[in-house]
Amino acid sequence: MKRLLIPLFLLYTLQLTHAQIVTTVPAFPVADQPVTITVDVSGTSLDKFAWNNDTNPVYIWTWLKDSNGNSVDAPTNVNPATSPGQDAAKCYRLTTNPDKYTITFTPTTFFNKPASAITQIGLKLKSRDWSENKQTDVDKYITITTGFSVKFTTPTQTTFFVNTGDQIPMTLKASATADLEIKVGGVSKATILQNTTLNYTHTVTETEGSVTVEGSANNGTDTKTSTFSYYVRTTTANAPRPAGIIDGINYDSGDPTHATLSLLAPGKTSVYVLGDFNNWAIDEDYKMKKDGEHFWLALNGLVAGEEYGFQYLVDESIKIADPYADKVLDPDDQYIPATTYPSLKPYPSQALNTQWYFNRVAVLQTGQTPFAWTASGYQKPAPENLVIYELHIRDFFGENARNYQSLMDTIGYFKKLGINAIELMPITEFNGNDSWGYNPTFMFAPDKYYGSKNKFKEFIDICHLNGIAVIMDMVLNHQDLPNAYVMMDFDFTGMKPNPTNKWFNVTATHPYSVFFDMNHESKYTQQYVDTINYHWLNEYKVDGFRYDLSKGFTQKNSGSDVAAWSAFDQSRIDILKRMAARVRTHTPDAYLILEHFADNSEETVLAADGLMLWGNENYAYTQSAMGFSAGSDISWGYYKTRSWTDPRLVSYMESHDEERMMYKALNYGNSSGTYSVKTLATALNRMKAAATFFYTLPGPKMLWEFEELGYDQSINRCSDGTISNDCRVTAKPVLWNYQTVPERDALHDYVADLLRLRNTYSVFTKGDATVTTGNQLLKQITLMNNPYTATPADASQMNVQIAGNFDVTPQNVSVTFPHTGTWYDYIKATPLSVASNSISMTLQPGEYRLYTDVALKTITGVEEERHTLSYTVYPNPSTGVLQIEAADKSDLDVRAFNTLGQPMALHKVDRNHWDATSFAPGLYILKIGKGTTQYTTTIIKN
């Protein structure tokens, strides 16, 4: 028998399609006549649903396809929970079967469309409140009859697996009287003359391969056909994996025509590989061999350098991409700009499935050219010296510039600011494109929305060339569908992992969990985590990780009790220390930063083990900046206040997860008389005061993107400008033009100056600090060098005294200096004679003083002449041509530079217009000159 191959996009297996069967009366619906639709919801989240026609009904959600293939919703496709009055879409439950629902309507009336516009109806069933996500899982379609036609009403599947000896009932129906025939494998098995129905039961005799069944109807003038296929199961062969084969894609360095695939799939019985190399067909030659819990297959005849998409079909029913693939395709790739990812391989149409979570395709490519790293002499900053800039690429650049190239073009900005590490919010493959990234799916693949894997490597290499570390936000508390290890052992009815899943808990063991919680006591999870860590540290040379929700790395069940979850947990400590020890075997100097927020007794143990921990000081610094004493104690941001021995506290005033300080200051700040924190200039000045008390404390520091410019858009800002908690993760305005606002630019320059001090003088990183504050608005910090001397010979032995008034009225403060003698006001560049350790001085609202006992040169900001002339540059951001307006009508000298200071070819169109069309998307510096003075500003090119 000739073996036929089954295209996978037709595959609806017995396991998944015995339910959600859709039947119609009549069997051949007509657009302008009533049709009764019955749906079996068994095996879906509506299975055993507590239906009540009045209080808990089920609705049909249905749509048409227009002439362009676009979906057109029915008028009733609105959430009944929020938009009542959709009774026309109500379904009724059959009394004979509680998992079957029925509805009757006339399509032309229901859709308010002419019959000519109705050729196919798509449908799902949903519960009353769509937010419950209770619905049938697979999109189903009903074909509208417009003439003579024929179809199999039994079986309902188009393709399925069978065993030798199985019997397959078949019912072939025609829309009008005709001669009917059923052929199996090309052989006639049943006929009937001048009838509308032909029944036949077929016994499977084949032992392997696929068989096509064809039904035909001839009415004397026309012949119509309908087909389905079945595939005969075979036993999986057992064979040991070749030496050196590990899970994932194994390339042969000596033979670019060869690769070996390996999949860890405990408890599974069969795996087929389907892809570009076999036309996405189920083929016995591409059935993987079994080696214990692993399945493997050698691929031959590959073309070096060619990208091949592929998937695994596990146990005849589950389609997954390789969990270790470093490139994964999905249908949303079509929305990635070509400027971000040129020549991106399109998602293969043969792999497209109506079930969204089966739509992930891994990519293999032999003969790849290794990336050429250049930063060979790079030394990462010591942990205690870190100043980390946390950013989200999506919200850092304009719409077509959200990529690694734009980050590379902005390196000069980071260097001038003075940070020495960049922490990227999650960039591993996640669902969708517009996301914070905390819904990860494939942990070895960079998400293509930001660029290719080599662009990411190039960004890291350039950062290292400039002395900047790169830290990845790593999400290992949970994973989202369609993570392959979630999918392989998953309850698709209840939409949760099965109890037998080796990697994931059925239910999270702790509060605040999202998606699917990982079981970190499982050896399978531990191996997975260890391989992920090694991959990014070794293959991409990242410098470390910030582990999201690390407090969730526990099997101790705290339910919804946050206090119990935060309490000392030795098992969690053991899990984290095990992971850290494994990392240190190959990368001993990796930064391992925890978003933990557990009790200090636990965090002290972890810090002693060398782990670093986030220190959230947002509330204390925001209260101080707003001028409110309650909760304004900033001392917890200093590691020694927590009784830690080593500086392992990564403290911050803002992060991606906290409300922006400037937003709260401008909207909720305190006031007294004419002094108001809600005034922009006042609020920005108080940000300087907060920065003075933040960046000077020893220990690693972090700031959130645009914090240095006083970003004042709420974390909960919606795209229409309103504020709602539902908009927390939506895209925020990209406001690089803040640099053109003198007060904001002054804040930037002051932060840069504080970072220069911190990066230059050891007292700010290795000194001993005393923080005198409590919940008071008069604050002091004493920094004594280590070792301490009251007579420093130079700045390397310098001591520092800081005082500030965060009240909204003038206050007298007694400033306590470490020793008497001459001190220097760094900001005013004036000396102060200290005759006794304590000096009384009056500080105005928001005023701050930074004294050193060694005279320092005061440098504020970038050493450029700024704002000496007044010009307007617009549009900014721009897609190409810039207009420059000035009161002086004479010709201007306009030059453009990238952030590394390299000149760009800016073409003059006329006196007021300059063409930057040739610029790649990113941040650029404009220098507008006239005579001996110049104006410097920045533009964003989209």
Q: What is the CATH number of the domain that holds 544?
A: 3.20.20.80
Please indicate, yes or no, if residue 498 is contained in any of the structural domains: no
- Mean pLDDT, residues 184-205 taken together: 98
Please indicate, yes or no, if residue 374 is contained in any of the structural domains: no
Averaged pLDDT score across all residues of the chain: 93
List, as own/partner pairs, every contact residues 379-382 make where C-beta atoms lie below 8 angstroms and the sequence separation is at least 24, other chains included.
379/467, 380/469, 380/543, 380/589, 380/591, 381/420, 381/421, 381/467, 381/469
Rounding to the nearest 10 degrees, give the CA dihedral for residues 126, 127, 131, 134.
-70
At 903 the pLDDT is 81
- Mean pLDDT, residues 315-343 taken together: 97
Instruction: Check whether 917 has a pLDDT greater than 80.
Output: yes
- Boundary of a domain, candidates 540, 570, 602: 602
Instruction: Check whether 691 has a pLDDT greater than 90.
Output: yes
User: Using CA atoms, how far apart are residues 546 and 35, in angstroms rounded to an integer?
Assistant: 57
Cβ(661)–Cβ(687) below 8 Å:
yes
Assign 827 a pLDDT band (cuts: 50, 70, 90): very high
Q: How far apart are the first and last CA of the chain?
A: 60
Assign 919 a pLDDT band (cuts: 50, 70, 90): confident
Read off the pLDDT of residues 36-67 as tens digits, 9 standing for 90 and up: 999 999 878 888 888 998 889 999 999 998 77
Whole-angstrom Cα Rg for the chain: 33
Assign 167 a pLDDT band (cuts: 50, 70, 90): very high
Q: Which of 5-14, 391-400, 682-691 has the lowest mean pLDDT?
A: 5-14
Report the sign of the C-alpha dihedral through residues 751, 755, 758, 764, in that order.
positive
Please indicate, yes or no, if residue 75 is contained in any of the structural domains: yes
Cβ(30)–Cβ(144) below 8 Å:
yes
Cβ(486)–Cβ(317) below 8 Å:
no
Please indicate, yes or no, if residue 392 is contained in any of the structural domains: no
Q: H/E/C letters for each residue in 292-317?
A: CCEEEEEECCCCCCCEEEEEEEECCC
310: three-class secondary structure by DSSP:
strand
- Report the CATH number at residue 121: 2.60.40.10
Please check whether residues 409 and 444 belong to one and the same domain: yes
At 136 the pLDDT is 84
Please check whether residues 742 and 852 belong to one and the same domain: yes
Read off the pLDDT of residues 433-451 as tens digits, 9 standing for 90 and up: 999 999 999 999 999 999 9
Report helix angle 523-539 to 570-586, nearest 10.
40
- Mean pLDDT, residues 779-804 taken together: 97
Please indicate, yes or no, if residue 110 is contained in any of the structural domains: yes
Instruction: Check whether 872 has a pLDDT greater than 90.
Output: no
Highest mean pLDDT among 835-844, 886-895, 908-917: 835-844
- Residue 148's CB: how many other CB atoms inside 10 A? 17
Token pair recorded at residue 111: 């859709």
- Mean pLDDT, residues 158-178 taken together: 96
Assign 862 a pLDDT band (cuts: 50, 70, 90): very low
142: three-class secondary structure by DSSP:
strand
Assign 931 a pLDDT band (cuts: 50, 70, 90): low
At 870, phi and psi to the nearest 5? -115, 115
At 870 the pLDDT is 57
Please check whether residues 886 and 775 belong to one and the same domain: no
Instruction: Check whether 172 has a pLDDT greater than 90.
Output: yes
Looking at the structure of the chain, the number of domains it has is 5
- Boundary of a domain, candidates 172, 205, 232: 232
Please check whether residues 361 and 475 belong to one and the same domain: no
Half-sphere exposure for 731 (CA within 13 Å, toward CB) = 15
> Which of 912 and 119 is assigned the larger pLDDT?
119
Instruction: Check whether 6 has a pLDDT greater than 60.
Output: no
Kind and range of the H or E element at 578?
helix 570-586
Instruction: Check whether 934 has a pLDDT greater than 80.
Output: no
Please check whether residues 824 and 784 belong to one and the same domain: yes
- Domain span including residue 20: 6-232
Please indicate, yes or no, if residue 151 is contained in any of the structural domains: yes
At 646 the pLDDT is 98
Strand stretches in 705-796, DSSP E: 768-772, 778-784
Please check whether residues 849 and 876 belong to one and the same domain: no
Token pair recorded at residue 612: 């670093």
Instruction: Check whether 869 has a pLDDT greater than 70.
Output: no
Assign 2 a pLDDT band (cuts: 50, 70, 90): very low
**pTM, to two decimals:** 0.86
At 8 the pLDDT is 38
Q: Percent of the chain, pLDDT > 90? A: 82
Cβ(592)–Cβ(583) below 8 Å:
yes
At 938 the pLDDT is 78
At 45 the pLDDT is 82
Token pair recorded at residue 708: 């240095």
User: Using CA atoms, how far apart are residues 270 and 316, in angstroms rounded to an integer?
Assistant: 7
**CA 363, chain centre distance (Å):** 20
Please check whether residues 851 and 876 belong to one and the same domain: no
Please indicate, yes or no, if residue 717 is contained in any of the structural domains: yes
> Which of 911 and 418 is assigned the larger pLDDT?
418
- Mean pLDDT, residues 130-152 taken together: 88
- Report the CATH number at residue 718: 2.60.40.1180
Please check whether residues 578 and 681 belong to one and the same domain: no
Please indicate, yes or no, if residue 764 is contained in any of the structural domains: yes
Instruction: Please count the residues of the chain.
Output: 942
Instruction: Check whether 133 has a pLDDT greater than 90.
Output: no
Cβ(472)–Cβ(348) below 8 Å:
no
At 137 the pLDDT is 72
Instruction: Check whether 3 has a pLDDT greater than 50.
Output: no
Q: Which of 238, 234, 243, 149 is nearest to 196 (CA)?
A: 149
765: three-class secondary structure by DSSP:
helix
Q: Please report, as a single letter, which amino acid is at residue 551.
A: K
Pairing of strands 490-491, 496-497: antiparallel
858: three-class secondary structure by DSSP:
coil
Read off the pLDDT of residues 715-771 as tens digits, 9 standing for 90 and up: 999 999 999 999 999 999 999 999 989 999 999 999 999 999 999 999 999 999 999
At 905 the pLDDT is 82
Instruction: Check whether 73 has a pLDDT greater than 90.
Output: yes
Please check whether residues 32 and 109 belong to one and the same domain: yes
Instruction: Check whether 867 has a pLDDT greater than 70.
Output: no
Cβ(121)–Cβ(144) below 8 Å:
yes
Please check whether residues 627 and 709 belong to one and the same domain: yes
Read off the pLDDT of residues 210-264 as tens digits, 9 standing for 90 and up: 999 999 999 999 999 999 999 999 999 999 999 999 999 999 999 999 999 999 9
80: three-class secondary structure by DSSP:
coil
- Report the CATH number at residue 934: 2.60.40
Assign 904 a pLDDT band (cuts: 50, 70, 90): confident
Q: Please report, as a single letter, which amino acid is at residue 359.
A: N
Read off the pLDDT of residues 461-471 as tens digits, 9 standing for 90 and up: 999 999 999 99
- Boundary of a domain, candidates 207, 232, 257: 232
Half-sphere exposure for 331 (CA within 13 Å, toward CB) = 11
Which residues pair with residue 150 across a beta bridge?
174
Instruction: Check whether 24 has a pLDDT greater than 90.
Output: yes
User: Using CA atoms, how far apart are residues 302 and 780, in angstroms rounded to an integer?
Assistant: 68
Assign 889 a pLDDT band (cuts: 50, 70, 90): low
User: Using CA atoms, how far apart are residues 396 and 406, in angstroms rounded to an integer?
Assistant: 9
- Mean pLDDT, residues 560-576 taken together: 98
Please check whether residues 844 and 914 belong to one and the same domain: no
In terms of Cβ atoms closer than 10 Å to its own Cβ (0-12, 13-18, 19+), residue 460 is buried
Assign 859 a pLDDT band (cuts: 50, 70, 90): low
Please check whether residues 796 and 676 belong to one and the same domain: yes
Assign 874 a pLDDT band (cuts: 50, 70, 90): low
